[in-house]
């Protein structure tokens, strides 16, 4: 029995040593698969067929800050004029349409997408002039800005309404932002 015990111990140690070997080729990368911060531009038409909603795909951890801006100028690239949403527009009174028309842009997000919506206190399909439809619903450009909450900066010190201040504060490069058509 004494000769059998050392052989049993050797077998046990060999099995333990082999099972703890980590020389496999599988590499688990728990790092994030995107760079911070990032910006993406999206264009699309808000209409009744998409329920006045554009769905923009993203992939972020749950702890990130998502900002959405709407291009309100005629410029593009660094010359664009970006306005933070949510935003309410008070449309001019028109004899043919109800008075006090309000059009709201808003958004919500999950870890996989951002939904940008246009809501109104009137029927957007029938109670807007052609110029209003072209200005507020057709070919709209939005910029989604993803900022990590662990950026090492106190985000409370930046005015998110001021797009240029956000770009400067988080050291963003907005000279070559990718553009995707949503619908």
**In terms of residue numbers, what domain contains 177?**
38-181
Residue 29 lies in a domain: no
Please give the Cα distance from 100 to 90 (Å, whole number): 7
Q: Which two structure tokens, joined as six digits, stand for 133?
A: 């439809």
Please give the Cα distance from 149 to 134 (Å, whole number): 36
Residue 69 lies in a domain: yes
Please give the Cα distance from 176 to 41 (Å, whole number): 10
Residue 141 lies in a domain: yes
Of 35, 16, 30, which is closest to residue 148 (Cα–Cα)?
Answer: 35
Q: Which two structure tokens, joined as six digits, stand for 23?
A: 């020389």
Where b means 16+ CB within 10 Å and e means fewer, 26-59 reads: eeeeeeeeeeebbbbbbbbbbbeeeebbbebebe
The pLDDT assigned to 60 comes to 83
Residue 33 lies in a domain: no
The pLDDT assigned to 31 comes to 41
Residue 157 lies in a domain: yes
The pLDDT assigned to 30 comes to 36
Q: Which two structure tokens, joined as six digits, stand for 32?
A: 């994030």
Q: What is the pLDDT of residues 40-70, one digit of tens each?
A: 999 999 999 999 999 998 888 776 789 999 9
The pLDDT assigned to 29 comes to 37
Length of the chain (residues): 183
The pTM of the full predicted model, rounded to 2 decimals, is 0.74
Q: Which two structure tokens, joined as six digits, stand for 147?
A: 């900022």
Residue 10 lies in a domain: no
Which segments in the chain show pLDDT lower than 50? 21, 24-34, 151
Residue 175 lies in a domain: yes
Of 58, 71, 43, which is closest to residue 182 (Cα–Cα)?
Answer: 43
The pLDDT assigned to 32 comes to 43
**How many separate domains does the chain show?**
1
Residue 55 lies in a domain: yes
The pLDDT assigned to 135 comes to 93
């Amino acid at each position: 029995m004494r000769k059998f015990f050392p052989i049993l111990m050797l077998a046990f140690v060999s099995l333990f040593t082999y099972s703890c070997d980590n020389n496999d080729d599988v590499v688990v990368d728990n790092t994030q698969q995107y760079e911070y911060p990032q910006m993406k531009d999206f264009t699309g038409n808000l209409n009744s067929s998409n329920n006045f909603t554009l769905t923009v795909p993203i992939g972020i951890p749950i702890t990130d800050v998502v900002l959405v801006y709407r291009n309100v100028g005629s410029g593009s690239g660094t010359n664009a004029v970006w306005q933070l949403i949510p935003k309410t527009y008070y449309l001019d009174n028109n004899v043919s349409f109800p008075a006090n028309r309000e059009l709201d842009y808003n958004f919500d997000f999950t870890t996989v997408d951002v939904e940008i919506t246009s809501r109104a206190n009137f029927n957007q399909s029938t109670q807007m002039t052609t110029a209003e439809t072209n200005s507020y619903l057709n070919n709209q450009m939005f910029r989604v800005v993803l900022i990590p909450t662990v950026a090492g900066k106190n985000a409370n010190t930046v005015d998110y309404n001021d797009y240029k201040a956000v770009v400067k504060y988080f050291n963003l490069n907005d000279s070559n932002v990718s553009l995707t058509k949503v619908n």
